[in-house]
Each structure stands twice: as structure tokens, then as C-alpha cells.
């Protein structure tokens, strides 16, 4: 079986490269480093120009729409951001039931595992589960920034539907991987990988998550939105689901209790301040020595690549804001780094299964060379330029989400973040019974958009980018 694979390997490689071109091996890390550098400098136009330059093909991929929507949102172009993210959403929907492209069909004809034999980067990028869920959550935040609670409600409903579908898909996928491992007699665990940074997948915060795609913040946001629309019977389940996912956060429990509290006083507003900061972690590649014993007794060490997450350090951590001259504590309700690590932890059995297959293939090729020329035998596989973990991921997605909920008098207020202590406080206008104030901190910049930040004189919506 393995020798037959070796004969077909060059043919398959040639066909795949013709189908996918060099784009499959683009340096996505470098591209996004350049883009996020512009974003951190406050140059959203420059970030958008780089995204376009790095995606010249007429047919855009999912990541293009992910990244473009996030930059447009930071730039205050909320309607354009929604257009980009709606395109991303449409791609996600199209791929929920249909997963075959021309390249996929070729792979299916040659064998289901062929794409993974070469490299996971040759697979079409369909997005990680947490990215799909956070997509509609971020879309809802765009709507809430302009007080469109009905629009936010529609996106929140999609979030719940997507979670249900993902849960069903994950169950089937994990069952398939378990069955394949049992059939092959291989039950390798990531803890068995020599030199792999296991500790990052074993942190208490990662293990405490129920899964890698359900966000307690998303469900809390649903509860707040339903409550603002007067649908308390729907708000309660949202708050309860947030509590179930993160019972360690009293903030969620308080929201459920407050559903029965007295209504707002005259001239008062129920305000939810949402501060998102940093960037989603990068996905990098590490090589791990993998010993393979062949049928003839040779033991060949194959250096196989596995993905690791690299947390973003661009933004100084903080846990408070200043509102009307008074410091207020923020509650952390979402951490994309933890979600991505939990996703990687849950995906590792499937990743190991695919990379193990590549290790056996590479070892078999080296073993064949050894038998042909014993004098130059090597028991370590030769360097393979294709052996690299898939490092694509949505990088411009905010990492941390922190919140503060309180009642404020309607009118003008001031707000500032500790990441820009020398900048003038931002002016906000509270004019709704329930209102969401959204800010994004990135490096020493603050992005603030939406109806609450309308210029007092001109009435125009603006993006605020403050520097130390």
C-alpha cells in the first residue's frame, strides 16, 4: 500500500500544484504581519491596500473577507465591513454541506488522504469553528454600534444556528478519527510527541472551556440584545447559556438576576461598554522527530511538522477604563487565544492521524533509498520543503473582549483607556434607553466607532485613533 502511494506521489504533486498554484504556499504569516503593523500604526488605508495586494486573484478566499471586514470595522466603515463579512458568511454557508472543489475531487479519486499526504496547506481554508462563530458575533457588534438591535438580533440567531451545526459536525468528525485510529492500531496522543510544547494545550484556562467554538460572550450579547428588544423570555436563555459555559464569571449571573430588577429611571440608560484588544494568535509550525519502524526492521526518523499557537503581545494588558474621571473595572468575557488553543487541542487527533501518514510515507521513501545504496544509508528523512504545518488563521480578529455594564444618565460622557494615557478622553453621547459602546485597543491606538462617537459639532461618525 505504501509503495503504491510512492509511485503516485509525483503525479499527484504535479496535479495539485497545477490546481492550487503557488498560492497554497504563500507566506501568510508575513503578509498578515505587514497588515497588522499598519493597523497598529493607525493606518487602516495601508492595511486595506496590503490585503488587496496580497489577494490579486479575482476569486477571493474566506480569509480575505475575514481580514478585510475586521480592518473596515476598525476604520469606522461599518456598512462596508458588513458587506465583506456577509461575503465571508456566504462562503461559510456554501461549505457547510458541499466540501468538494476540483482539487478535492481529484484527491477523492486518488484517495481520501492524498491532500494530507502532501501538506495540510493544500487544503482549501474553510475557517476554524471559533472563527465562524465569532464572525456573526462581530457582525452583531457592528449593528449594535449604530443602535440597530433588530439587525444584531438576526446575526445572533445565526450564531446559535451555527453552533448547533458545528456541534453535530464535530461529533461526526471525532467519531471518524477514533474509528480510523482503532482500525490502524494507532492511538498516538499529542503528549507523546517529543519536543512538542504540550504545556500550551494543558493550561487550566484551555481545559476549562467546554469546547473551542462556543463563546460565553456571544450568548451574553444575545441576552442583552433580546432584553433591549423587550424579549425577556429569550434574554434569560442567553444569560443561562453564558453561565453554563463560564460559571466562574459572576458578571453573567448578575445579568440573569437583574432581568427582574426595576426598570430604568427617567433620563437613564442601560449601557454596555465592550472593549476588544489585541490580535488573535498567530499559527506557527514546529518540527517534531517521529520514529517509524519499517517492515524490514529499519527505524527511520521523519521530521514532521505540527501547528502551534503564538499569542499576540502587541497590546499592553489592562483591566480598567476611566469613565467620567472615575476608574471602572472591566470583566474579561472572551479570549480568542484560549479558544484557538482548545480548538487545536481537540483537533490534534485528526492532525496526528494525517501527519503520521506522511511520516510513514517519507520513511518508506528513505528506507527504499537505503536498501538501494547501503553505503550511503541515512536513518533520518531528507529535508522536505513541503513539510510545514498550515499556519493560516484569522489574525485581525480581536483577542480579548472585556465588558462593563452600568446605568448612566443620558447626555455626554468621557471615556479613556490606559493604553493611551496621554491622549485626550473620548467623548461619547448616550441617547438610547439601552446602548452599546464599542472600543478596540491595538498597540497604543484606540479605535472607536458608532453613533455614540458622533462629532458634537458636525454630527458625522468618526474613527478615533489615539497615540501615546
> pLDDT at residue 265 above 60?
yes
- Distance, in Å, from the CA atom of 192 to the CA atom of 345, rounded to the nearest integer, reads 14
Strands (E), 316-368: 320-323, 326-329, 331-335
Residue 371 and residue 11 in contact, taking contact as beta carbons nearer than 8 Å: no
pLDDT number for residue 300? 92
Neighbours of 168 (CB within 10 A): 10
Residue 68: its H or E element:
helix 62-74
* pTM for the model: 0.87
Quote the strand ranges of 280-399, DSSP E. Answer: 282-293, 299-310, 320-323, 326-329, 331-335
Q: What's the pLDDT score for residue 103?
A: 40
Stretch among 6-15, 234-243, 275-284 having the lowest mean pLDDT: 6-15
18 pLDDT above the threshold of 70? no
Whether the CB-CB separation of 121 and 19 falls below 8 Å is answered with no
Q: How many Å apart are CA 73 and CA 78, to the nearest integer?
A: 5
Cell 464572525 locates to 135
What's the pLDDT tens digit per position in 401-435? 999 999 999 999 999 999 888 788 999 999 999 99
Helix (H), strand (E) at residue 65: helix 62-74
Banded model confidence at residue 217, pLDDT cuts 50, 70, 90: very high
Distance CA 414, CA 424 (A): 9
**Separation between Cα atoms, residue 369 and residue 366, nearest integer Å:** 5
- Higher model confidence: residue 365 or residue 124? 365
How far apart CA 460 and CA 454 sit, in angstroms, is 5
Is the pLDDT at 16 greater than 50? The verdict is: no
Other beta carbons within 10 Å of 436: 27
- How many percent of the chain have pLDDT more than 70? 83
Q: What is the mean pLDDT of residues 150-175?
A: 88
Q: State the Cα angle at 78 between 73 and 80, rounded to 5°.
A: 95
How sure is the predictor about 122, in pLDDT bands with cuts at 50, 70 and 90? Answer: low
* Residues contacting residue 278 through CB under 8 Å, at least 6 positions apart: 312, 314, 315, 398, 399, 400, 441, 442
CA 245 to chain centre: 18
The full 3-state SS of 142-164, as one line of letters, equals: HHHHCCCHHHHHHHHHHHHHHHH
- Predicted pLDDT of residue 387: 77
Query: Over 70: is that where the pLDDT of 51 sits?
Result: yes
Please give the CATH number for the structural domain made up of 2-453: 1.25.40.10
Q: How far apart are CA 79 and CA 42, in angstroms?
A: 20
Q: CA quadruple 406, 409, 411, 414: dihedral positive or negative?
A: negative
Amino acid at each position: 500500500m505504501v509503495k503504491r502511494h510512492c509511485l503516485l506521489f509525483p503525479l499527484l504533486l504535479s496535479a495539485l500544484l497545477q490546481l492550487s498554484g503557488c498560492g497554497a504556499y504563500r507566506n501568510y504569516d508575513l503578509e498578515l504581519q505587514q497588515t497588522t503593523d499598519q493597523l497598529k500604526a493607525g493606518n487602516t488605508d495601508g492595511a486595506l491596500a496590503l490585503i488587496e495586494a496580497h489577494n490579486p486573484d479575482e476569486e477571493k478566499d474566506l480569509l480575505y473577507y475575514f481580514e478585510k471586514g475586521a480592518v473596515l470595522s476598525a476604520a469606522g466603515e461599518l456598512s462596508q465591513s458588513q458587506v465583506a463579512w456577509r461575503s465571508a458568511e456566504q462562503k461559510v454557508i456554501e461549505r457547510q454541506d458541499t466540501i468538494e472543489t476540483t482539487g478535492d475531487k481529484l484527491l477523492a479519486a486518488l484517495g481520501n488522504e492524498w491532500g494530507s499526504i502532501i501538506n495540510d496547506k493544500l487544503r482549501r481554508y474553510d475557517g476554524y469553528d471559533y472563527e465562524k462563530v465569532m464572525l456573526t458575533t462581530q457582525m452583531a457588534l457592528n449593528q449594535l454600534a449604530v443602535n440597530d438591535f433588530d439587525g444584531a438580533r438576526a446575526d445572533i440567531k445565526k450564531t446559535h444556528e451555527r453552533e448547533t451545526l458545528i456541534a453535530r459536525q464535530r461529533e461526526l468528525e471525532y467519531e471518524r478519527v477514533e474509528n480510523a485510529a482503532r482500525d490502524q492500531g494507532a492511538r498516538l496522543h499529542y503528549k507523546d510527541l517529543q519536543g512538542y510544547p504540550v504545556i500550551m494545550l494543558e493550561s487550566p484556562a484551555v481545559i476549562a472551556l467546554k469546547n473551542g467554538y462556543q463563546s460565553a460572550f456571544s450568548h451574553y450579547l444575545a441576552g442583552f440584545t433580546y432584553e433591549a428588544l423587550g424579549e425577556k423570555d429569550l434574554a434569560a436563555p442567553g444569560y443561562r447559556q453564558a453561565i453554563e459555559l463560564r460559571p466562574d464569571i459572576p458578571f453573567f449571573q448578575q445579568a440573569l438576576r437583574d432581568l427582574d430588577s426595576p426598570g430604568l429611571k427617567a433620563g437613564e440608560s442601560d449601557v454596555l461598554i465592550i472593549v476588544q484588544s489585541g490580535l488573535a494568535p498567530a499559527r506557527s509550525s514546529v518540527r517534531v522527530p517521529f520514529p517509524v519502524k519499517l517492515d524490514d526492521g529499519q527505524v527511520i526518523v521523519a521530521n514532521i511538522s505540527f501547528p502551534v499557537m503564538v499569542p499576540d503581545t502587541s497590546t499592553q494588558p489592562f483591566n480598567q477604563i476611566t469613565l467620567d474621571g472615575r476608574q471602572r473595572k472591566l470583566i474579561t468575557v472572551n479570549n480568542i487565544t484560549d479558544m484557538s488553543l482548545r480548538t487545536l487541542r481537540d483537533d490534534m487527533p485528526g492532525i496526528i492521524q494525517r501527519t503520521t501518514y506522511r511520516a510513514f510515507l517519507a520513511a518508506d521513501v528513505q528506507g527504499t533509498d537505503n536498501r538501494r545504496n547501503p553505503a550511503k544509508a541515512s536513518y533520518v528523512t531528507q529535508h522536505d520543503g513541503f513539510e510545514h504545518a498550515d499556519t493560516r488563521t484569522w489574525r485581525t480578529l480581536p483577542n480579548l473582549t472585556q465588558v462593563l455594564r452600568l446605568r448612566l444618565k443620558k447626555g455626554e460622557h468621557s471615556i479613556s483607556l490606559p493604553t493611551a494615557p496621554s491622549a485626550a478622553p473620548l467623548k461619547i453621547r448616550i441617547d438610547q434607553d439601552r446602548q452599546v459602546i464599542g472600543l478596540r485597543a491595538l498597540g497604543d491606538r484606540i479605535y472607536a466607532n458608532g453613533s455614540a462617537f458622533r462629532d458634537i459639532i458636525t454630527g458625522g461618525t468618526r474613527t478615533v485613533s489615539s497615540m501615546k
